Amino acid sequence: MIRIVFLDRDTLAPETVLRAPSFDAEVEFYGHTSADQVAERLADADIAITNKVPIGEAVLPASQSLRHVAIAATGYDVVDIEACRRHGVSVSNIRAYANDTVPEHTFALILALRRSLVPYRQSVIDGRWEDAGAFCYFDYPIENLAGRRLGIIGDGALGRRVAQIGHAFGMEPVFSSYEGLDERQMQTLFNEDFGSPRYASLEKVLRTSDVITLHCPLMPSTRQMISDEQFAMMEQRPLLINTARGGLVNEAALERALEAGQISGAGFDVVTTEPPGEGHVMHRIALRSNVIVTPHVAWAARDAVQALADQLMDNVEAFHAGKSRNLIS
């Protein structure tokens, strides 16, 4: 009988239904798994499911029967792909399940910050409206989105959906170009969506955008891609939005940029360490009236999480049937 081990079932909402596989299998669920428990729990597993529990060279030699790792997420930096390849273990991930939920969360952050919704809400609770003695007051800045440049770093499905929403608000979406995409490909891609190519160099996107939003994977080439040097380029004092991966931004540099006024605010759904421990810089950053930090929930609309769970089992069943899908390795 095939043995399937889900190392961190609690990373999916309790109401999410994970259907039984269509083949004869024993499925073992663990709510959470610490690093020192992974090898033991995968010792006789044929298929591993993980969302945030790392799987790499340290545990693979002890997992002799393991043949497939199904990642319950799109990002796959939690799994050592090369180590899995060396040990004959294939890896699949989840795709295109969050094409609405993440972009909608991105714009929830943008709108809340551009209109100072959080500080205005708190000021009403604190009695400021009565103290003002007028029909309104102007304690916090309010800015429109129409006519502003939306810089998007990452032109996958999520980045493109964000561009579409921004365009509907009257913004000018501009993607950061990157090595390997030629001008002809840019033209083909964006004629379909907006009628003209909308790419610029990363430096130009950073210098000219009023809102900058990140939608790229975390890789060695993108780790801390936004740091002091990049913040110094941001001439428009933009909002910085990150609903992708925490490691894309140097968080100490983010605090310095906020303190220096290099950016007008920040909306982050992801942090380098999740959850951030006591004394983590993001706790200080989150106290600022021009910052919103949410606990990595941009992906977590109920229908999106259920779609993820359904696709996860599709991937497992496809592997068992010898018709693997969504393979990374």
Domain assignment present for residue 328? The answer is no
**Mean pLDDT over each residue of the chain, to the nearest integer:** 93
Average pLDDT over residues 196-225: 90
pLDDT in tens, 28-58: 999 999 999 999 999 999 999 999 999 999 9
pLDDT bracket for residue 192 (50, 70, 90): low
Is the per-residue pLDDT at 185 higher than 60? no
Query: Are 312 and 232 within one domain?
Result: no
Question: How many structural domains are present in the chain?
Answer: 2
Domain assignment present for residue 269? The answer is yes
Q: How far apart are CA 207 and CA 230, in angstroms?
A: 9
- What pLDDT, on a 0 to 100 scale, did the predictor assign at position 88? 95
Based on C-alpha coordinates, what's the Rg of the chain?
22
CATH number at residue 116: 3.40.50.720
- What pLDDT, on a 0 to 100 scale, did the predictor assign at position 177? 75
What percent of the chain lies above the pLDDT cut of 90?
Answer: 87
More confident residue, 157 or 256: 256
Residue 287 has a CB neighbour count (10 Å cut-off) of 9
Domain assignment present for residue 326? The answer is no
Taken in order 42, 45, 46, 48, the sign of the CA dihedral is: negative
Q: How far apart are CA 76 and CA 168, in angstroms?
A: 32
Closest alpha carbon to 74 in 156, 193, 174, 163: 156
Residue 109's alpha-carbon distances to 45, 115, 309, in angstroms, are 41, 10, 26
Query: Are 272 and 213 within one domain?
Result: yes
Domain assignment present for residue 241? The answer is yes
Domain assignment present for residue 329? The answer is no
Extract the tokens encoding 149.
């440049």
Strands 265-268 and 291-293: parallel
pLDDT in tens, 127-138: 999 999 999 999
pLDDT in tens, 162-182: 999 999 999 999 999 754 444
Query: Are 203 and 312 within one domain?
Result: no
Domain assignment present for residue 65? The answer is yes
Strand order of the β-sheet with 68-71 is 25-29, 2-6, 47-50, 68-71, 90-92
Query: Are 92 and 112 within one domain?
Result: no
CA 126 to chain centre: 34
Cβ atoms of residues 265 and 239 within 8 Å: yes
Residue 50's alpha-carbon distances to 32, 53, 56, 110, 327, in angstroms, are 10, 6, 12, 31, 15
Cβ atoms of residues 21 and 320 within 8 Å: yes
Domain assignment present for residue 41? The answer is yes
- What pLDDT, on a 0 to 100 scale, did the predictor assign at position 180? 46
Sequence-ordered list of residues with C-beta below 8 angstroms from that of 312, at least 6 positions apart, any chain: 18, 49, 70, 72, 94
Query: Are 59 and 88 within one domain?
Result: yes
Query: Are 178 and 271 within one domain?
Result: yes
- What pLDDT, on a 0 to 100 scale, did the predictor assign at position 181? 47
Domain residues for 54?
A: 2-97+303-320
pLDDT bracket for residue 196 (50, 70, 90): low
Residue 212 has φ and ψ, to the nearest 5°, of -120, 130
Q: How far apart are CA 185 and CA 167, in angstroms?
A: 21
Domain assignment present for residue 60? The answer is yes
Residue 239 has φ and ψ, to the nearest 5°, of -75, 145
The residues carrying an active-site annotation are 245, 274, 296
Query: Are 53 and 198 within one domain?
Result: no
Query: Are 187 and 91 within one domain?
Result: no
Residue 20: helix, strand or coil by DSSP?
Answer: coil
DSSP for 123-162, please give it: HHHTTHHHHHTSS---SS-----TT-EEEEE--SHHHHHH
Average pLDDT over residues 260-279: 96
Residue 57 has a CB neighbour count (10 Å cut-off) of 12
Query: Are 129 and 193 within one domain?
Result: yes
Query: Are 42 and 75 within one domain?
Result: yes
- What pLDDT, on a 0 to 100 scale, did the predictor assign at position 193? 55
